[in-house]
Amino acid sequence: MLDPDRVRLFVRAALDEDLGRGDLTTEVTVPDRARACGDLVAKQELVVAGMEVARMVFQVLDPALQWAPEAREGERFFPGTVMGTVTGRARALLSGERVALNFLQRTCGVATLTRRFVGAVEGTRARIRDTRKTTPLLRFLEKYAVEVGGGVPHRAGLDAAILVKDNHIRLAGSVRQATLRAVAGADGREVEVEVERFGQIEEAIQAGARMILLDNFTPDEVREAMESIRGRVLVEVSGGVRLDNVREYAQAGPDYIAVGALTHSAPAADISLEIE
């Protein structure tokens, strides 16, 4: 669930960025008392996410507006279908249009791409995870969209979980030393360790890792690693994962597949606001 107070904060900041001292064009062309109705229209097949954010954009500008959503979060919509209708002050609709669409196109884009990855691994044990490769300050929205699309959220930030990565290992001196330090300071939290070579897997497990992240392994290498791990710890795969090979990775048997592209490369969904 999205925190409405947090959403409102970001909506106001986005409107301040776009409006500045005012919408000059709208103020000189549209009468102050004019009212209008706008349809949010899907221009492509998409998974809906973030409708509440779009609503809040318009409501900040016109608290008395009428909002009639046709779409529920997670639903699939098709080109030409109306996702929702907003009715209120014409100036508010025009001034909020771009900000509302920017948010909605981003969240729907992330949810849509996530759903494609989730569908590609259907029937396997693997679950699709996001990463921290997110747009600065918009992580909470993008990770929300991943969940709407059927993905599983990874840590929200560095304070949420312990994941020992390659640079931690280099600075600690070895996988074993980095893992031992992480376990000692974990305060009961589970420790995940990223490995780049087969030889590091057993080293991490023996030092107390509860999850292994296989970084840039091929599907065949993942399959071989799973045979050596034999279910002793959870396994995550990351690096080099694409829509055209994610199922091959999933069939190798990992518990999770982390896909940075869900947030750093999701194309914006094509959505328009058609005003009458």
93 near 275, Cβ under 8 Å?
yes
Count of CB atoms situated within 10 Å of the CB of 120: 20
**Residue tagged active-site, from 8, 35, 76, 98:** 98
Amino acid at residue number 173: G
> End-to-end distance of the chain based on CA atoms, in angstroms?
32
Q: Report residue 75 as tokens.
A: 């639903």
The kind and range of the H/E element at 120 are helix 90-120
166 flagged as catalytic? no
Q: What is the dihedral of CA 51, 54, 55, 58, to 10 degrees?
A: -170
**Residue tagged active-site, from 133, 139, 155, 181:** 133
Q: What angle do CA 221, 133, 160 make, to 5 degrees?
A: 90
**Residue tagged active-site, from 194, 203, 236, 255:** 194
What whole-number distance in Å separates Cα of residue 32 and Cα of residue 26?
9
Sheet holding 271-275, edge to edge: 66-69, 82-89, 35-42, 271-275
Q: Which of 64, 32, 69 is nearest to 54 (CA)?
A: 69
143 flagged as catalytic? no
**Residue tagged active-site, from 8, 139, 165, 223:** 165
Lookup result for tokens 């997670």: 74
**Residue tagged active-site, from 203, 215, 236, 255:** 215
The kind and range of the H/E element at 175 are helix 175-184
133 flagged as catalytic? yes
> Do the strands 162-164 and 191-195 form a parallel or antiparallel pair, or are they unpaired?
parallel
Please identify every residue annotated as catalytic: 98, 133, 165, 194, 215
